[in-house]
Amino acid sequence: MIDPIFLAEAAINGIMLGGILALLALGLNLIFGVIDIVWIAYVDLVMVCMYALYFFVQVYGWPFWLGALGAVAVGAALGVGVHLLIISPILASPPVNQLLATGGLLFFLQSFATFLWTTDHKSVRFSLPSWELGGIFFPATRLIPFALSIVALVGLYVFLTRTYMGTAIRAVSQDREAMALMGASPRRIYLVTSAVGGLMAGLAGALLTFQYSVHPFFGNQFGPLTFMICVLGGLGNMVGAFVASFIMSEIISVAGVVWSTEMGYVIAFVVFIVMMFIRPGGILARRG
């Protein structure tokens, strides 16, 4: 039998992981909901941002907060670049072509990263304290990213609900034809959405750096999981994606402690597949 304290610790780690997954999933979900294209290579953009951060901090000696801002800027630039170079030429193509173009980007980014930086794991070194409460450890390397990702999520929420641009973005995700008739330029909205999505990727990269070392195939670890969270929450449904992140992260954390890491993922994916059949529109959707 597993010591309950391990389970409690796993559950808490799950919540911490959930915050970061939510950030990843919301960035992708925003793009998904507005532009209606799955960026298969989304987490590989995160990987590039993590490398950027590594170089800023470990190689050029920038302070961490500046490096993180740099990584966020790199993410936003990547988002705009991907949209202009790859997505906008194929907006009218069949969905399979759109999936594959960003899938090609996945191969490109992973192998180009291998070429440039080899497959060695690179990490930014931290010396941060860890607190103990009732036999459970709360390391700052988990608490800080969690707190920052919650702040970022609130920021995204405010942006989407309280600004003109955010409202326009939400409107497009509800009805793209009508929005063009209302005089909002879809081109500009797509561009801003991609930039915000990329920015979230940069931020997620900076926060993931607290706990993970980066390597060219980092995206494979979180990529499929991120798509599944988006679908589980309902494509374009921000609140749903948020809830789904925590469900998935809890399953992975707890099952990872009880069985093994791989089984944690297997169970999470099986839950996803089953949920897909029970609630195809996402966990928070009303049955249509």
Partner 1 sequence: MTPGRAAGLALVVLLAAGPVIPLGGMREYVLHVMVQIFVWSFIGGAWALMGRFRLVSLGHGAFLGLGAYTATLLWNHYGLTPWLGGVAAVALTAAVAVIVAYPCSRLQVVGHYFALVTLAVGEVVRLLIIAERNWTGGSLGISLRPAGRDSLLAVQFADKRVFYYAGLVLWLLGLWVWLRVDRSMARSAMEAIGEDETAAASVGIHVTRFKIWITVLSASLTAVGGVAYAQYISYVNPDTLAGIGVSLRIVFAVVLGGMYSLLGPTVGTALTIALAEYLRVVFGLKFIGMAETIYGLLLILSIIFLPSGIYGSLRDLAARLWGAPARAEA
Does residue number 220 form part of the binding site for partner 1 (CB under 8 A)? yes
- Give the residue, chosen from 78, 109, 148, 208, that forms a contact with partner 1 under the rule CB under 8 A: 109
Is 147 one of the binding residues for partner 1 (CB under 8 A)? no
Instruction: Dig out the tokens for 198 from the structure.
Output: 């990329």
93 binds partner 1 (CB under 8 A): yes
Of 3, 66, 114, 130, the one binding partner 1 (CB under 8 A) is 114
Contact 204, 214 (CB under 8 A): no
Least separation in angstroms between residue 250's CB and partner 1 is 18
Does the protein bind partner 1 through residue 273 (CB under 8 A)? yes
Q: Does 161 bind partner 1 (CB under 8 A)?
A: no
In the region spanning residues 30 to 89, those forming contacts with partner 1, defined by CB under 8 A, are: 38, 40, 86, 89
Among 35, 48, 106, 148, binds partner 1 (CB under 8 A): 106
- Contact residues for 206 (Cβ-Cβ < 8 A; gap 6+): 49, 50, 53, 67, 68, 71, 72
* Alpha-helical segments (H) within 36-131: 42-54, 64-82, 95-117
Q: What is the DSSP string of 160-192?
A: HHHSHHHHHHHHHHH-HHHHHHTT--HHHHHHH
Phi then psi dihedrals of residue 130, to 5 deg: -140, 135
Helix (H) or strand (E) holding 133: strand 130-133
User: In the complex, which residues of this chain contact partner 1 (CB under 8 A)?
Assistant: 38, 40, 86, 89-90, 93-97, 99-101, 103-116, 118, 216, 220, 223-224, 227-228, 231, 235, 260, 262-263, 265-266, 269-270, 272-273, 276-277, 280
